[in-house]
Chains A and B, each alone.
Chain A
């Protein structure tokens, strides 16, 4: 039986962890001062692909669209999932792409994998900077793959070419639902941030160690696995990517005006013990004395 083939779509994002992230005085992100890393949701997608590598010996291709420096995201991704192939889709003509135009590039890229046609494509939940969560499902639609979002767990039957996935659906103002679904391959999975792979059997743990060692070695020499594609090399229609392929534009960016004060605050000096005592009394008054 042919090994399973996976695609993983990742993104280079600002690093929001303390010490790396930098904010302007007005509270907005200072992009120039903030480092970039493999996005945390992209890392989750990589670990989901790694699970399939360990359990089923899958081959993995990781792809990203971005400027030349985005290859660092691919290297970090390879470290997690021991990728066999890395793709960077990079061209000035891709600049200014919205999610639809980005999905067109990623879809075409996934189809270019030399490991073969992907049985499963993984993406993260959403990017930490754009936060739209649209690119994954739109790429799935363009690929013609069934899309399973909010995946917290999955398993495969490689013989029957079936995937079973658990999805966490949160209905705001309602309850949450865990849904178990089954789909024939190929399928596209967007992982919930809470996804974590577990390896229960000794044989799986041994395979995990073996592939992690291989991943470290490969990532040290990641350029050997890397192919960079421009518009021509990708063979994508220039009218469907970048600005021409983007229905949406950012019309303006403004500071959110300070809302009308919805409450009138009494300001209290935090170093004044008498005032703090007053707050403590007020707290019990509001709670109606109902404290445990």
Chain B
């Protein structure tokens, strides 16, 4: 399959930044890209590159940084029109970059027949999810979203349509693992050519968006070498028709940062949602904690009074992959089973206490103290003890 290799090569990582500061997931994607391509190049005796793609305005220092974090090549499109992410222009420019063979020859003279990248990564956040969708629609290829594990392998595939039921080998296939909404199932998505004689088609790149916070960035290393290539985007007047009128940074109404303790609850409140939320409020009040929730709660699965619903069952309080990452000294998880998506959001906490009647729930492996019991029973007892113990604890501090 050398032919295939020549047309589709290298791993492109679309970098997100805010005025030249990389968003953390950008460096995390580069770290994973580096690890994958090092393994790939040694396994297949090749020299395919990790290519970071930057759209922006006067942010060249960022490009150099990306090399220190693992990129072999940085393709940099610099234009005032690209200052902030904007779907239409960014999609066009990324499409141009991803299909520019002359550009590839600058960093990989052997890539003579380049058509498109082999792999492509985007961030699974408000910008990257949409951008990956439009870019892949423009490149007419497949996309998997919200990925938290990646493997490259040669796979034997038998599929009713892709292979017309035959067993065929697909080389260098990117296995893209995504946890489903429940957090208990892992679905592996593949992007494969149609090798069905009735309808042959090549689908490249194999692309995905990557959940922030799951991969480790590399240590910054100024010893890493790489090259920055300037790209002149070809913009037409029609591409500039969407105008940004204003931009305003906002603080979320709920502030987890700087809180020493966070109390979170999940679907376990279900037996008496309203009363349980009131207990959780009392607990949070005693220890001065902010209140968080698991993702299902933000979908308002239980009828509660309007105040509780609009105060707590909201996206702003979600901790996990679809919400905030927190790292308080103390984290108390109440009635949260511990789906992977939630764990990502709280695993950096200092000390973790879980309250749950089910000792087999995954949360048990993510906590330091597991209180087995129903929150209806445990919370009143815990609040009472906290009130009793409190003066003594404060006394200790004073001395």
| Chain A nearest CB, measured from B50 CB (Å) | 21
Give which listed residue, B25, B143, B287, contacts A134 with CB less than 8 A.
B143
B113 within 8 Å of A by Cβ? no
Residues of A within 8 A of B359 (CB): 267
Contact B242 A146 (CB under 8 A): yes
- A20–B243 Cα distance when bound, in Å, is 44
Known contacts: A28-B184, A177-B247. The answer to whether A248 contacts B397 by CB under 8 A is no
A36 within 8 Å of B by Cβ? no
Give which listed residue, A28, A103, A190, contacts B182 with CB less than 8 A.
A28
Known contacts: A133-B130, A263-B365, A270-B372. The answer to whether A249 contacts B189 by CB under 8 A is yes
Contact B189 A248 (CB under 8 A): yes
A109 within 8 Å of B by Cβ? no
Contact B241 A287 (CB under 8 A): no
Residues of A within 8 A of B315 (CB): 193-194
Known contacts: A180-B245, A184-B241, A246-B142. The answer to whether A146 contacts B87 by CB under 8 A is yes
Q: Mark B230-271, 1 if CB is under 8 A from A, else 0.
A: 000000000001111111111110000000110000000010
Contact B371 A276 (CB under 8 A): yes
Contact B249 A248 (CB under 8 A): no
Chain A, interface size category, equals 35 or more
Chain B, interface size category, equals 35 or more
- A251–B368 Cα distance when bound, in Å, is 37
Residues of B within 8 A of A250 (CB): 187-189
B183 within 8 Å of A by Cβ? yes
Contact B181 A129 (CB under 8 A): yes
Residues of A within 8 A of B183 (CB): 27, 256
Report the 7 A-B pairs with minimum CB-CB distance, sorted nearest first: A270-B373, A247-B142, A289-B397, A284-B393, A247-B203, A261-B365, A248-B142
Known: A137-B134, A247-B142. 12 other contacts (CB 8 A): A128-B181, A134-B132, A148-B242, A171-B127, A173-B213, A175-B250, A177-B249, A258-B365, A273-B385, A276-B381, A280-B389, A288-B260
Enumerate chain A interface residues (CB-CB to B < 8 A): 16-18, 21, 23, 26-29, 40, 96, 98-100, 103, 128-129, 131-138, 140-142, 146-150, 164, 168-184, 190, 193-194, 239, 243-244, 246-256, 258-271, 273, 275-277, 279-292
- The 16 listed contacts between A and B (C-beta, < 8 Å) are A129-B181, A134-B143, A141-B91, A171-B23, A172-B23, A172-B325, A173-B213, A182-B243, A184-B241, A248-B189, A248-B190, A263-B367, A266-B368, A273-B381, A279-B369, A291-B288
